[in-house]
Amino acid sequence: MTGVDWGQALQVGGFGFLLVVLVLASLAVCMWLIGWLFNKSTGIKTLFTREKKTSPEDNQDNEPQEEPEYNPQYKIDNIERYE
């Protein structure tokens, strides 16, 4: 245990914490952008697919499908493998 250089300590602690926040914030912005681009491109693709299906045969598979129910238990069980 020794004397402390508080100037250096403040630099390491203060600047270090800000840098961690900056890194994670940059990553969040990047991922949000990528997600947004993906959603947009998926949206455009869906639009084109819908436009193509104009004949009665194409529309046969357009019957409303039942949405699968969300089962949180499944995901909780799934996550056991981390241990």
44 binds another protein per the rule CB under 8 A: no
Identify residues 9-28 at the interface with another protein (CB under 8 A): 9, 11-17, 19-28
d(CA 4, CA 12): 12
Distance in angstroms between the alpha carbons of the first and the last residue of the chain: 37
- Pick from 42, 62, 43, 64: which is nearest to 54 by CA? 62
Stretch that binds another protein, among 1-9, 48-56, 58-66 (CB under 8 A): 1-9
- Pick from 50, 44, 75: which is nearest to 62 by CA? 50
Stretch that binds another protein, among 3-11, 48-56, 57-65 (CB under 8 A): 3-11
Residues 6+ away with beta carbon under 8 Å from 53: 59, 62
* Shortest distance, position 7 Cβ to another protein, whole Å: 11
**Interacting residues with another protein (CB under 8 A):** 1-2, 4-6, 8-9, 11-17, 19-32, 34-35, 38, 42, 70, 72, 75-76, 79, 81-83
